[in-house]
Structure 1
Amino acid sequence: MNAQTVIVADDHPLFRSALVLALRGLLPDATLHEVDAFDALQRTVESGIDADLVLLDLHMPGARGFSSLLYLRNEHPALPVVIVSGHEEPAIMQRAFDFGASGYIPKSSGLPTLALALRAVLDGEIWQPPQLKEAPAQALEHRELAQRIASLSPQQFRVFMMLAEGRLNKQIAYDIDVTEATVKAHVTAILRKLGLVRRTQAALLAQRLLQAENAALEVPAAEGLPVGEDDDA
């Protein structure tokens, strides 16, 4: 493995230091950047550095659920992201891959596993832990919905996340500096991509996405949902 630039994103100082120490042994010529919060991660990837890899813990200040992974996949689709997490549930691992992760390394893994995963991902491959390969297949409809969420454009994803906060079109338009007509177009595109018919469904789905890594992605049927103030998209 040649000289690389790696971002290590983890808010736990001891684990982050241990991971950096391991990386210096495995990638002695690498340039390493450490961040401990989502806003620091954003600043680092947007600073212009030519990063080759992000090692990402899902739990950091400013990030909920898979929001940090989805941000990276939407804003920097060419940048490989490997989740390094204490969660070892196969459903959570699969969700990470459905959202575009290039690898998933349980924090209980040893140095040989870290080396295998790094080598595979830096060579352009997808690395899955043995726990996931041996697990039963996840429900196809859940995986397809996760993949549709991952297909949203960066601007559509921003709007989608703002729907979770209950923002109206005029508020979203002000925050992202576009017209209300543009926001309506984004909402319409989001509903179409996600196979939904109501804005309220999209808001509920976005809320569930932020609740926890293993929150169910099922969305209630449109019938019976309250009509929001801006539910005409």
Structure 2
Amino acid sequence: MDTGYRIIIADDHPLFRSALHQAVQTAVKGAELQEVDCITSLMQLLSEAEDIDLLLLDLKMPGASGFSALASLRHQYPDLPVVIVSANEEPAIVQQAMRFGAMGFIPKSAPMPTLVSALNMILEGEPWFPEGISLEDAPQDNIAERLASLTPQQFKVLIMLSEGKLNKQIAFELSVSEATVKAHVTAIFRKLNVQNRTQAVIALSQME
């Protein structure tokens, strides 16, 4: 039966993309699959595509630095289910993915039956994470939580600050006034509990 699901696989390793493609086809018969190998291509595809049901995202690929891609995606496409597929299986990494709103975290070492089971569960609307990992034992006041509290526009401004852009440049690119940008910057400082641009950029870099 054709499920009609539209799924994107974002990973820069051809062999693993192929394995993941096979797992998705086994789990979701008739799904429409698209593959990208860098964040630039992913963003381009998302801007053009409609009704994507699931994104399978590798943490490490061109254009992505740690959790910056996941955080950006969650802000720009809050309704898009994102599942991290990573070779790094440390509990702290899984917990970060949880904090940033990932729908699941599938280790690259997972055998095919586990991959298929996880994908089925996620497409039914149930989160899937490795057993025994939760946010209850994670450190409190995590920078991830503060970054996740930013609005989509504030997150865009923070990314632009990290690129060294001035308020005037940011205002031009976002088609808003400088006063609006200043208000966003003030809100960013307050939410991140920082005093200046340098500290805000350092906070962003801690996602890597």
Normalised by the size of structure 1, how large is the TM-score? Answer: 0.82
**1:207 CA displacement:** 2.7
Aligned to 1:158: 156
Determine what percentage of the aligned residue pairs are the same residue: 53
**Residue 138 (structure 1) aligned with residue 117 (structure 2):** no
**Residue 168 (structure 1) aligned with residue 169 (structure 2):** no
Distance 1:68 1:16 in 2: 18
Distance 2:149 2:53 in 1: 22
Aligned to 1:83: 84
**1:175 CA displacement:** 3.1
Distance 1:25 1:155 in 2: 39
**1:155 CA displacement:** 1.3
Alignment: residue pair count:
207
Aligned to 1:148: 146
How well do the aligned residues superpose, as a CA RMSD in angstroms?
Answer: 1.9
Could you tell me which amino acid in structure 2 is paired with residue 103 of structure 1? G
Are 1:166 and 1:203, in contact at CA under 8 Å, matched by a contact in 2?
no
Aligned to 1:189: 187
- Relative distance call for 1:164 and 1:17 in structure 2 (3 A) is same
Distance 1:136 1:192 in 2: 26
Aligned to 1:179: 177
**Residue 127 (structure 1) aligned with residue 128 (structure 2):** yes
Distance 1:21 1:124 in 2: 21
Aligned to 1:56: 57
**1:166 CA displacement:** 3.1
Aligned to 2:197: 199
Are 1:3 and 1:27, in contact at CA under 8 Å, matched by a contact in 2?
no
Unpaired runs of 5+ in structure 1? 213-233
**1:156 CA displacement:** 0.7
Aligned to 1:27: 28
Distance 1:166 1:159 in 2: 11
Distance 1:21 1:105 in 2: 15
Please state whether the residue corresponding to 2:30 is helix, strand or coil: coil
Could you tell me which amino acid in structure 2 is paired with residue 159 of structure 1? V
